[in-house]
Amino acid sequence: MFVLTLALAMAGATPAESATPDSTNPATESAKPAKPKKTCKRIVMTGSNLGRRICKTEEQWIAEQSANIDNVNQSYKQNIGNDPAASMGRGN
């Protein structure tokens, strides 16, 4: 009876010890960092009924949107300029 109790106690202690994270375990140290989550969007090109599915990370989507806004602003400033009269068609 004592041997059976001892065997059950040892078997019960083993999973509890392995359940705690061990900082010296080389498997946890070499774990790869998590990949950033990608978001896919369906982009329909002008003149086409077919769309393309493009997948990028959220940071890439934000960077692309920011670059597009900068390009539009730069184009607007080149074409219109800073003269409010020029933008209304009242040039000298």
Helices (H) and strands (E) in the chain, counts: 4, 2
Please tell me whether residue 41 adopts helix, strand or coil conformation: strand
Give the pLDDT of the chain (92 residues) as one tens digit per residue: 555 555 656 666 544 445 555 555 555 567 888 888 999 999 998 898 888 999 999 999 999 999 999 999 999 888 876 655 555 555 55
State the burial class of residue 54 (Cβ atoms within 10 Å of its Cβ: 0-12, 13-18, 19+): middle
pTM summary value: 0.48
pLDDT at position 16, please? 47
What token pair was written down for 51?
Answer: 């769309």
89: left (phi over 0), alpha (psi -120 to 50) or beta: left
Distance in angstroms (rounded) separating the CA atoms of residues 46 and 92:
38
pLDDT at position 21, please? 55
